[in-house]
Amino acid sequence: IETHPNLCETAPVALSYELFPPRSPAAAESLWTTIRELETTEPDYVSVTYGASGSNRDTAVELINRLLLETTLRPLAHLTCVGNTPEELAEIIGELLDTGVRGILALRGDRPQDGEPPVPGSLRYAQDLIELIRRVEQRRSALLCAGKIAVGVAAYPTRHPESPTVAHDVEVLLAKQRSGADFAITQVYFRTEQYADLVSRARRAGVTIPIVPGVMPLTSLRRVTRLGELTGVEPEPELLALLAGAETDAERLRIGVRATVDLANAALDAGAPGIHLYTFNEHVSALEVLDKLSLPRQARSVGRRSAAAQRSVAAQS
């Protein structure tokens, strides 16, 4: 992968997690327990989400700064077009680079549901943000002498809700690659063949960048249903029925972890270059999934899992 050596010269099968900035002091405390647990698994990076409106900019920056200063983790900062002007975005990108961030996930962001118009003059597509990042990078090339910034983008195993066809989604991914994207992370998906189908369509169209499957631990009925509604990706009815029928939390965890591991292993069998786990700021399900996955790094990480994590998993089984 032609990217910043500190971020993307990763293990043969890369491991990464998504976190979101906490919304309260209690959420921050619990997030930091999760971060410490996830850190023991030595991920290649952790991504930090960014509210489309830019409203959580301060908490996102604070989390990224703490990750850089207080942990061994490398942050991948999400950034969106819709809530900021290009000038503001250029400033944010510069600030991120100044604090030591070397990877950005360039996204458009979802348009406000309340009919609020986008910020006047805001960038239209993720592709425009990639180009902006590359321009800022160019201006700061002296600072970045250790290598270029890793720029990731979103990819869609099922059609993006605003896109006319899956073929159009692949065209967009190719356009993002041509504008300077180094890798893609997929939206959640629930059927094993959807990832392989996306990769094969993308490769036929000339997309060569790594496409990392974004996998959500399928252990919470409420969360799976909600995310299905938010993203327009339909969960499997069989999985929903199994989760709904589980009589205990431990049984639900077992069912959800098995389904997640099946999804991730199918992607690895299809040649996935890594696994990106949507953690929802919780470590128990993520660590359970990791324990059961056939990742080469697993041998390294399992032994390092803290007693606390093992106790919390045991308590639920």
Match 């893609």 to its residue by tokens. Answer: 184
Distances (CA, A) of 78 to 59, 98, 108, 122: 13, 16, 10, 17
Q: What is the C-alpha to C-alpha distance for residues 60 and 66, in angstroms, rounded to an integer?
A: 10
18 is catalytic: yes
Considering the complex, state which of residue 52 and residue 293 has its C-beta at the smaller distance from ligand FAD.
52
Interface with ligand FAD includes 126 (CB under 6 A)?
yes
Number of residues that bind ligand FAD (CB under 6 A): 24
Question: Is 103 an interacting residue with respect to ligand FAD (CB under 6 A)?
Answer: no
Q: Is 54 left (phi over 0), alpha (psi -120 to 50) or beta?
A: left
Q: How far is the CB of 52 from ligand FAD (least distance, A)?
A: 3
**Contact residue for ligand FAD among 85, 125, 191, 251 (CB under 6 A):** 125
> Considering 2, 9, 18, 70, which one is annotated as catalytic?
18
CA–CA dist 271, 199 (Å, integer): 9
Residue 157-186 contact track with ligand FAD, rule CB under 6 A, x = bound: ---x-xx----xx--x--x---------x-
DSSP state of 234: P
Helix (H, G, I), strand (E, B) or coil at 119: coil
Residue pair 291/302 in contact by the 8 Å Cβ criterion = yes
List 187, 219, 279, 285, residue binding ligand FAD (CB under 6 A) = 187
Q: Does 110 bind ligand FAD (CB under 6 A)?
A: yes
CA dist., res. 16 & res. 227, Å (int): 20
Q: Pick from 4, 57, 74, 78: which binds ligand FAD (CB under 6 A)?
A: 78
Residues in contact with ligand FAD by the rule CB under 6 A = 49-50, 52, 78, 80, 105, 107-110, 125-127, 154, 160, 162-163, 168-169, 172, 175, 185, 187, 214
Residues serving a catalytic function are: 18
